[in-house]
Structure 1
C-alpha cells in the first residue's frame, strides 16, 4: 500500500497528526508513506541528509514540499502556477493508492485530490465544512482531542484499530551534541504564541524562572528569531537567571528531549514536548485544551473556567489567561518536577 498523508498548517497541527501515522507505520511497516508538508516543518520528519528508515528519517519514506502559504500570497504569478503543477506531477508520479487529508481544509483537500488517488479519505465534519465535498470517503469521528480524531481517520485506510503512540521524530547528531552541553537539570520556557491573546505575560515567566532557579533548576528560554524582545524582557524580569536559546527546529527537538520540564502556552514547542514524552505545564486561555492541549504525557494545564474558546487574533492576552498567577504555574511545575521521571534527573545535578 502506498499512502499519501497531507497535513500542512502550523507546527502544533502537524505534531497532533504524528501519533496516528506512527501507529500506522508500526502496524504496516511494509507500506510506503509519503507526507505533503510546508518546507519550514520538514525537520519534524527528516534530519539533514538522512535516508528513510534511519533515526534521521524514521517515519515517512518521502516528503513533498508544499509552500502553500507562499503560494496563497502570489497566486496569480506564473511561477506559482508552475510550482503547483510541478508538485501535482511529483505526487502523481508516486502512484499513491490512497490520500488522507489530516487537516480538513479546502486547500489540503485540493492538494490531496491532485495526487489522483483511487481513494481520498477525510473527516466527515472537517474544520472547513466545504472540504468534505472533495473527499471520496468521509470518516465520522467521536474523539474530543484532535489526536484522537486523526487516529480515527487513519484507521479508515485499512480498517485498523490503532492505539495512541508517541510519534517517531528524527534525531540529528549535531543537534544532539549541542543539547548535551546544556546544564542539567533544566526547565525550558517557551513564551511565544501564534497571537497575543494566547501569550502569558513575559514578567510572569520571569517570576516563575526566579522561583525555579531558587529550587536549584537551570532555566532556559526557547526564543524564535522574532521573539528576542520577549526573551529579553523575561531575562530582565527574572534577574538574569535564565539562558536564552534561539535553536533551529532540529536543535529544539534535541533540547526538548533533555528538558526536565517544559512550560508554555498553546504553541508548537508545547506540543513538541508532549510528542517527545516530556512533562509539561500548559498555560491556556482562548483555546480549548480538551481539543488541542497536552495529550499522552505527564502534564498540568492551567486555564480559567470562564475562558471562552476564541481564535480571534487579538493582540492583548485574554482576560482569563491573566488570572493565572506565577505562583500557580510554579506550583504545577514543582509538582511535576518532584515526580519520579524528573526527580532522578534533579538528583544528578
Structure 2
C-alpha cells in the first residue's frame, strides 16, 4: 500500500545539503511549491556553505547542518527539530550521510528518487518514489518532486537574494567597469578532472580584452590548487587585464560579481549554475560530465561540449552506451577543449545576452 501524499501540505521539509550548483538548481522547485501552496511552511535542511549562498531566500526557513560536525551535529539538529513534524519530507540528496540524517526527522511521508535514479540505497529510506524520468537534467529531477505532489505550474523562477553589501563588495573589485568573469576551477576533489588549462584561459582572456575591451575577474575558492591555477593564468596575461580575487570573495559577493558580469566562463562547477540562476550569460566547459544532465540549464546550447569525444577517446564507448550521469574520469579529458571552441561560444553568448526563450521552462515529463 502506498503512503498517501498530502493534498494541501502545511509544512514541507526539503533535505538537500550540497553542493552549490545543486542547491541553485533546486530553487525553482521551491518556488513552484510556494506558488502552489503560498501558505505552506517550507523548511530546508541545508549545508553550511550552501546556506551562506542562499541565505535570505524568501519564504524559506533554513536549518543548517555542517558536515564537519558529524554525528554530533546530526544529533543537535534532531534536537532542534524534535517537536516538528512535517507533512512531507522531500529527500533530495542521494548520499548515505543525508539518509542517516533523515532518520531523525519526523514526517508523515518521505519522498525519494525512483530506483533507477537513487544512489547509496536511498530508496530504503523513503516511502514514496518519483515516477521514472530517464535522462533527466538535474534541475528536472528536482522538479519531479513537485510533479509528484501535484504541482501544476513548473515555470522557472529563482529570485536569489543579492544584498547591498555584496553589490558593494563586487563594485569595490571591478570599479563598475565591464568585465568577463572566469571561475577556472571546479571543486578540488580527488579524481575530479574538470579543470581546463591555464593556457586556454589566457587565450580567452586576451581575446575578451582585445576584441571587447573586457578585463577578466578570476574567482574561486581558497584552496592551493585554485590559487596556483590563478597564478599560472596571471603569468600568461598582461598584468592590467586580470583582476585576481580567487579565495577573496564571499559567496554573496560572488553572486553579485556573476550577476553584473558581461558573461561567465567556468567548468562544471557551482558558478555555471549560479550564473544560470541569475540570468547571466554563461559558457560552461564540459568534457568529463554530460552537459545534458548537468549543464547550465538555460544556456546548454552555449556549452563547449566534448563529453562524447571524451567517452570515445578515454572509455572507448559511445555516449549512449554509458549510464546516465557517468563521468569520464581521465586527467586529459578537458584537453579536448580548444581555446577556439571557448572563444566561439563566448562570442555567441555576448551576442545573445538575454536568456534563450525556448529554454525558460523545462520540458514536460
Q: TM-score range by the shorter chain?
A: 0.7 to 0.9
Listed as ranges, the matches of 1:1-349 within 5 Å are 1-46=10-55, 56-60=56-60, 62-71=61-70, 80-81=71-72, 83-125=73-115, 126-128=117-119, 130-142=121-133, 144-157=136-149, 159-181=150-172, 182=174, 183-194=176-187, 195=189, 196-215=192-211, 216-226=213-223, 227-240=226-239, 241-245=241-245, 246-297=248-299, 300-304=302-306, 305-308=308-311, 310-311=326-327, 316-318=331-333, 321-339=334-352, 341=354
Q: Secondary structure at the match of 1:336?
A: helix
Q: Secondary structure at the match of 2:181?
A: strand
Cα distance between partner residues in 2 of 1:220 and 1:231? 10
Decide whether the 8 Å contact of 2:15 with 2:46 is kept in 1.
yes
Q: 1:329 to 1:69 in 2, by over 3 A?
A: same
Q: TM-score, normalised by structure 1?
A: 0.85
Task: Give the superposition deviation at 1:310.
Answer: 4.7
Q: 1:21 to 1:40 in 2, by over 3 A?
A: same
Cα distance between partner residues in 2 of 1:162 and 1:106? 32
Cα distance between partner residues in 2 of 1:273 and 1:288? 18
Cα distance between partner residues in 1 of 2:108 and 2:48? 27
Decide whether the 8 Å contact of 1:155 with 1:162 is kept in 2.
no
Q: 1:131 to 1:341 in 2, by over 3 A?
A: closer
Aligned length: 319
Q: TM-score, normalised by structure 2?
A: 0.81
Decide whether the 8 Å contact of 1:274 with 1:280 is kept in 2.
yes
Q: 1:191 to 1:95 in 2, by over 3 A?
A: same
Decide whether the 8 Å contact of 2:280 with 2:353 is kept in 1.
no
Cα distance between partner residues in 1 of 2:132 and 2:140? 8
Q: Secondary structure at the match of 1:114?
A: coil
Cα distance between partner residues in 2 of 1:127 and 1:203? 39
Decide whether the 8 Å contact of 1:274 with 1:295 is kept in 2.
yes
Task: Give the superposition deviation at 1:45.
Answer: 2.3
Cα distance between partner residues in 1 of 2:179 and 2:59? 29
Cα distance between partner residues in 1 of 2:74 and 2:280? 38
Cα distance between partner residues in 2 of 1:44 and 1:306? 34
Cα distance between partner residues in 1 of 2:272 and 2:97? 26
Decide whether the 8 Å contact of 1:198 with 1:317 is kept in 2.
no
Cα distance between partner residues in 2 of 1:340 and 1:290? 21
Cα distance between partner residues in 1 of 2:201 and 2:121? 41
Q: 1:252 to 1:165 in 2, by over 3 A?
A: same
Decide whether the 8 Å contact of 2:18 with 2:50 is kept in 1.
no
Decide whether the 8 Å contact of 1:202 with 1:230 is kept in 2.
yes
Match of 1:53 in 2: none
Q: 1:171 to 1:140 in 2, by over 3 A?
A: same
Q: CA RMSD in A?
A: 2.1
